[in-house]
Structure 1
Amino acid sequence: MKTTDLNIPELMKQFNEEGYLLLPGVLSQEKVDRLNAAIDEVIASEPETLAHNIYNSVERHPEIASLIDQPEILPLIVNLLGHNIQLHISHLTIRKPNPSEAQTASHSFIDWHQDGPHPQFPVIAGLTATYYIKTCYILSDMSEPDRGNTKVIPGSHKRPYNPNNKDVRQQVNGEVQVCGKPGDVFLFAQNLWHAGSPNRSEFTRRQLFLGYSPIWMRPIDYHTASASLLKDADPIRRQLLGQISDNHFKYYVPEDSMVPLKSLRITEA
């Protein structure tokens, strides 16, 4: 898929209505294979478990870090969230088959929730604003439900909503299991109600989440990007790693030269 293949205005309209998007065939099979090989290296040093949740995963392997400024996706993120943004989180999730629905400390499944801090983001008239967006790279065959798929409630980011039963193992009215093939990508707003369902299949789920937020927010993975991530970074990568100025006031009111992502805007704020 090329950036020019994306109808960004139409996708923005759909995202604003439903709170998520599923984009098929964003990554080539070769790229998927390289990412899975990188993930194999990462988890080789991790304890054996039914479910891996590895944060700051861009720090763990350069192949994963290559997704920070993925050219097929970045223009869409910029037009959805604005150009004064950064990488907020990089989170690798692996869920092995778990037909008995055993709960683990590493979250083999996750109940219904909105993302955000505790205490939560401000709620006004029952609504929370969109503060950040997550991009999920599907790296295993998630084309059928009950493989540990992410569940969403379309449109729940724009109306007062709170499921009566937050147990992901129980079906909620209006829920959708996001299904996709390796190389597909889905995006969702942090204020969309979502959950991580149990893996009742014979397939291992592999999904890699990269989230983006305004640069004036504290990222989850680190307060300052490491020297290894910043080494040889071009201006766009440096912005996404939160390095635009020594004057932190500029994080709120940056000069255009500090935020090269502005060049990817096709709509005005």
Structure 2
Amino acid sequence: MPGTSRTTEQLLAMHEQGFVLLRGIMTPQQVEAVRAAIDRLEPIHWDYQGLVDDHYKCVFNRDPFWLPLLDLPGVIELAQACLGENCHVIGQTAWRSHPGFVGGELHADYLAMELPERWLQDPTFTLPMQVCTAHLYLDRIDADLCPTLVISGSHRAGRKPRPGETHWKGREAQPVLCEAGDVLLFRSDLWHAGSRNRTTDRSRYLLQMHYGRRMVTQKFSPYLQWRFNPEVLAAATPRQRRLLGEHEPSEYD
């Protein structure tokens, strides 16, 4: 089956390169609808609207509109191949990055444990993924509009970058240039960075979906005060409910 073959190739790239750029996941009309929905968001809990960026957490809980973005066709198949058929969403975040925004330094989001780099250079050793992030870009990303920077293969370093470190095995971070509606899926141990918005009149719109293995905790702030929106749960498909945490009982349930 063509779809199965494509997912297999993409999974291999996730193990070898640490990321995959998925082209044309959303149509221009779908992109515009998500941009408009982000413009309607108001900050709650730990959200913020700043001078150069706006950040909204757990947007799936605001309205059923956001549910289909949790399991976009062409994305969810790869996320499940990376993390297991019982993976779930650990967060969904909307961003606007305005002119003057400065992205984060080179970093890795999460490592389950540090490992000797020599182990990870062994071609017979495959390091399982624990968390992956999908960046849904809602603008055409050029060199001036906050491209995500990645170092291919750097997840095999077995550690996070040290302060001031900018290379891995002679490789520099490279920008991911893409079109609106494309999705970058990358593993949490990949070395990556944000970058500046060098434009004077454009804001980058971005929606992040974070996926974790079944045993990775969901990051639904404000935690002890968290409550699911009943309208969202009523509208969710069985797969979306599982992504939100409705799992079959397992060892620790």
TM-score range, shorter chain: 0.7 to 0.9
**1:249 shift after superposition:** 2.6
Provide the residue aligned with 1:38 in structure 2. Answer: 37
Partners in 2 of 1:111 and 1:179 — Cα distance? 18
- Correspondence for 1:123: 114
Q: How far off is 1:131 after superposition?
A: 1.2
Say which is worse superposed, 41-50 or 16-25, in terms of deviation: 41-50
- Which residues of structure 2 form unaligned runs of 5+? 121-126
Q: Would the aligned equivalents of 1:113 and 1:166 in 2 still touch at CA under 8 Å?
A: no
The aligned amino acid for 2:115 is: I
Contact 2:67–2:240, Cα closer than 8 Å, also in 1: no
Shift of 1:167: 7.7
Give the AA of the match of 1:80: C
CA 1:244–1:165 in 2, change beyond 3 Å: closer, same or farther?
closer
SS in 2 for 1:231: helix
Taking the aligned partners of 2:181 and 2:251, their CA distance within structure 1 comes to 39
The answer to which of 29-38 and 158-167 deviates more is 158-167
- In 2 relative to 1, CA 250–205 (structure 1 residues): closer, same or farther, beyond 3 Å? same
Structure 1 residue 65 displacement after superposition? 2.6
Q: Any residues of structure 2 matched to 1:53-92 within 5 Å, and which? A: 53-92=55-94
1:17-36 aligned at under 5 Å gives the runs 17-36=16-35
- CA offset at residue 4 of structure 1? 3.7
Q: Distance in 2 between matches of 1:47 and 1:139?
A: 19
Q: 2:242 aligns with which of 239, 242, 246?
A: 239
Structure 1 moving runs of 4+ over 6 Å: none
Contact 1:90–1:221 (Cα < 8 Å) also in 2:
no
Partner SS, residue 91 of structure 1: strand
Q: Report the alpha carbon displacement of residue 13 of structure 1 after superposing the two structures with TM.
A: 1.4
| Count of aligned positions | 233
1:124 aligned partner, one-letter code? L
1:162: how far off? 5.4
Look up the equivalent residue of 1:52 and give its one-letter code: D
2:147 to 144, 149, 152: 149
Shift of 1:44: 8.5
Of 203-212 and 153-162, more deviation after overlay is shown by 153-162
Give, in angstroms, the shift of residue 242 of structure 1: 0.6
Deviation for aligned residue 1:48: 5.0
**Superposed displacement of residue 234, structure 1:** 2.4
Q: 5+ residue gaps in structure 1?
A: 102-107, 252-269
1:174 to 167, 172, 175: 172
Superposition deviation, residue 145 in structure 1: 1.2
Q: Is the 8 A contact 1:42 1:61 kept in 2?
A: no
- The offset of 1:55, in angstroms, is 1.4
1:184 matched to 2:182? The reply is yes
For 1:167 and 1:147, how far apart are their aligned partners in 2? Answer: 23
RMSD, matched Cα: 2.8
Question: 1:9 is paired with a residue of what secondary structure?
Answer: helix
TM-score scaled to structure 1, two decimals? 0.76
Query: How many Å apart are 1:133 and its aligned residue?
Result: 0.6
- Residue equivalent to 1:260: none
Say whether 1:112 aligns with 2:111: no
| Residue 132 of structure 1: aligned partner | 131
Name the counterpart of 1:261. Answer: none
Counterpart-to-counterpart distance in 2, 1:182 and 1:225:
32
Amino acid at match of 1:96: H
2:32 match: secondary structure? helix
